[in-house]
Amino acid sequence: MAKKVLVVADIRNGKLRNVTQEMLSGAAKISAGGEIAVALLGHQVEGLAQGLGDLGADTVYVVDAPELEKYTPSAYRKAFLEVHRDFQPDAILLAHSAVGKDLAPMVAMRLGAGQVSDIVDLEVDGDTVTFTRPIYAGKAFTKVRVKEGTLVATVRPNNLPPAQAGQGKAGTVKRLAVSFEPQDLTTMVKEIVRKTSGGVDLTEAKIIVSGGRGVKSAEGFKPLYELAEVLGAAVGASRGACDAGYCDYSMQIGQTGKVVTPDLYIACGISGAIQHLAGMSNSKVIVAINKDPEAPIFQVADYGIVGDLFEVVPMLTEEFKKVLNQ
C-alpha cells in the first residue's frame, strides 16, 4: 500500500547536506508510489526547495522564520508539528545528525510513535518496512520492524544510495506561517563555535585520512593533510591523537567521537583499539599504515602497509598526484 513519507531536510551553513538526498532515496522505497514531502525548517531556506522535485519530492514545505535561524528544540518541534498536521505522514525520516538525533525522539514522543535510530539500510516487503541498524558499537546488526503507527527513523549519512535527479516531479512549494510564543523559545542560542577537520564534513566524506598516536605530534598531521588535499578527503583522528593534544576533538572518530562510513578509510599510525574500530569499521575499503605488523587495525583492513607513515604517506601522495593528473 502506498504511504505518505515526510523527509526533514538536514541543513548546515545554508546548504542541504548529502544525507537529505539519501533520505529521499529511502522515502521512495517506503512510499511505494505514494506521496513524498520534504520539510525545510530554518531561516532564508526557501531557495533550497529548487531541485527537490526532480529528486522525488511531490511537496516541499517551507517554514521560514528568524526564530529558526539556529536550531533550538522547542522552536523546531513546533515548526515540525505544523508540517506534520498539514501532511499527516505515515513515515518520517530525519538525519542521524546533531539536529536529527535531538528532534526525532521529541516528535516521536509527541506522536506516540516508536523510533528507530541510526539506520544504515531498509527493506520493503508489502506494507512491512524492515530497518537495519548497528548495535554493540558496530560489532553486530539488528533488523527492526515497526508493526503499527507512524514510522520515525534517523538515517546514518553515507549509507543509503542518494536519490537521482530526473524524476520530473513539480515539487510544489507550500509555505507555512508559524507564530512563536515565548514558551516556544525556552532556549536561545547566542553563538555557535564551529571546529572542523577542514572543508569536508567527516560524517559525509567519501574518503577519510585518519591519524593516530603514530603521527607523534601536531606537525605529524601535515603529510596527512597533504594526502587529503590531493584526494579531496577529510582528515580524522583517533582518540589517542586527540588526548595527546595533536589535534582537536572535533576530528575524533570512534565510539566516543564521530561514526563514519566512507568509501575509503586510510588509517595512519592507528593501532586499532576497539573504541576506534567502532567508529570506522563499516567503511567500504580500509587501508592501514602501521610499523607494527601485529597491530589490531590489520585485522579489519582490506589492505595493509607495514612501514613508517612518514615515508609511506608522502609516497602515496605523489603516486595519487600522478594518477589523478593523467
pLDDT at residue 6 in the model: 97
Task: Work out the angle between the directed axes of helices 309-324 and 222-231 (0-180°, nearest 10).
Answer: 20
Cα–Cα distance measured from residue 21 to residue 9, given in angstroms and rounded to the nearest whole number: 9
Residue 132: per-residue pLDDT: 95
- Confidence at residue 60, expressed as pLDDT on a 0 to 100 scale: 96
Same fold, 5-184 and 202-324: yes
Domain ranges of the chain: 5-184, 202-324
Closest CA to 118 of 161, 160, 57: 160
- Residue 199 pLDDT: 61
- Grid look-up 603514530 returns 214
- Residue ranges of E strands in 26-164: 36-42, 59-64, 91-95, 115-119, 121-125, 128-135, 140-145, 151-155
Per-residue pLDDT, 149 = 85
Give CATH superfamily name and number for 5-184: HUPs (3.40.50.620)
Mean pLDDT, contiguous 10-residue spans, the chain (326 residues): 91 92 96 94 93 94 93 93 96 95 95 93 90 86 89 94 84 90 78 64 92 96 96 95 94 92 96 93 95 95 96 96 87
C-alpha cell at 22: 539519501
Edge-first strand listing for the sheet containing 36-42: 115-119, 151-155, 91-95, 5-8, 36-42, 59-64, 172-175
Q: Which residues contact 109 (CB under 8 A, 6 or more apart)?
A: none
Assess if CATH 3.40.630.40 describes domain 202-324.
no
Give the pLDDT confidence score for residue 195 in this predicted structure.
61
Helical pair 73-87 and 98-111, crossing angle rounded to 10 deg: 60
Please write the tens of the pLDDT for every residue from 294-303: 999 999 999 9
List, edge to edge, every strand of the sheet that includes 303-306.
Answer: 234-237, 207-211, 264-268, 285-290, 303-306
Whole-angstrom Cα distance, residue 166 to residue 215?
Answer: 46
Q: Which three cell numbers stand for residue 116?
A: 528507530
Residue 196: what pLDDT? 52
pTM for this model (two decimals) = 0.85
- pLDDT given for residue 171 in this prediction: 78
**pLDDT score at 22:** 96
How far apart, in whole angstroms, are the C-alpha atoms of residue 237 and residue 255? 12
Centroid of chain to Cα 115? 17
User: What are the cell numbers at 266?
Assistant: 586510510
